[in-house]
Amino acid sequence: MRALLLAAGMGTRLRPITNAIPKCLVPIHGRPLLDYWLELLFDDNAIERILVNTHYLSNKVDSFVANSRHRDRIDLIYEPSLLGTGGTMVANREYFSDNALLVAHADNLTDFDVKAFMQAHEMRPQGCVMTMLAFRTDDPRSCGVLELDRRNVLQAFYEKVAEPPTNLANAAVYIVEPEVIAFMASLGKDFIDLSTEVIPHFIGRIFVFETSGYHRDIGSVESLARANLEFSPKN
C-alpha cells in the first residue's frame, strides 16, 4: 500500500515558530514532526512508498526529504495552490493506481499501530469504503467527533460543535478505497474538503478503528508545548 502525507499547510496558529519553518518540520524533542511520520509508516515495511505534498516553505521540506534515509521511497508533489485533503487525493490518483491508500495529516503527532490499522481495514464490515482512525480527545470541541453503531461504523459526525456528544474524535488518518476518490473526482472541483464534502456523503460506510496510543494535533503553540511534555518517543 502507498500513502499520502499531507504536509502543505501554512501553520498560521503556530506562528511565530512557523515564520521560518513549515509546520510539518516543527520539532518535538528536537526531531521534526515529519520524521516521526516517516519512521512510523515505513516501520516493518508497512507502507511501500509515500507521496508528500508541499506548498508553504516547500524548499525546506524538499531539503529535509533529500537528507532522509528514506529518500528513495518518498515522492514530493508541489501544490501552487492548496487543494484540500480531497483535492490532493484526486490530483494524484494515478500515483495510487486504483488501489486503496493511506492518507494522513502530517501535522498530528501519533504512534498508532499502522499494521493493525491496515488489518482492520481488510476486515472492515461489508459495504464500508473507508476506515478512519479515531482517538479519545481531551478537547472534543476542537475536533470532529464521532458516533458509531455496534459494528464501529460511523453513524454521525460533528465537526467542532459547542456541545459534542462524545470525546471519540477523528484522528485525520484514513484508508480509502478507489470508490471514494472516484466520488471526489465526480464533484468536478479542484479544492475538496474531506470533513465537509466527503465524510458526510459516506456516513454508514466508514469503519472506525480506535487507537489506544498517543495522538495530538500539533496545531497551536499550546498543543506543541503539551506534546513536548507528554510524548515519549520510542526511538
Please report, for the chain, the start and end positions of each structural domain, with discontinuous segments joined by +. 2-230
Q: Which residues of the chain have pLDDT under 50?
A: none
- Name 134's bridge partners: 170, 210
- Per-chain mean pLDDT for the chain: 91
pLDDT of residue 177: 96
Contacts of 39 by beta carbon, 8 Å cutoff, 6+ apart: 235
CA 125/CA 207 separation, integer angstroms = 7
Looking at the chain, the number of H-run helices and the number of E-run strands are 6, 13
The 3-state DSSP class for residue 152 equals: coil
DSSP string, 180-234: HHHHHHHT--S---IIIIITGGGTTSEEEEE--S-EEE--SHHHHHHHHHH----
Cα angle 192-196-200, degrees, rounded to a multiple of 5: 115
Peptide bond into 16 cis (omega under 30): yes
The domain 2-230 having CATH identifier 3.90.550.10: the answer here is yes
pLDDT of residue 138: 80
pLDDT of residue 105: 92
pLDDT of residue 13: 81
Helix axis angle for 84-91 and 178-186, nearest 10°, is 100
Q: Is this structure's pTM higher than 0.85?
A: yes
pLDDT of residue 178: 95
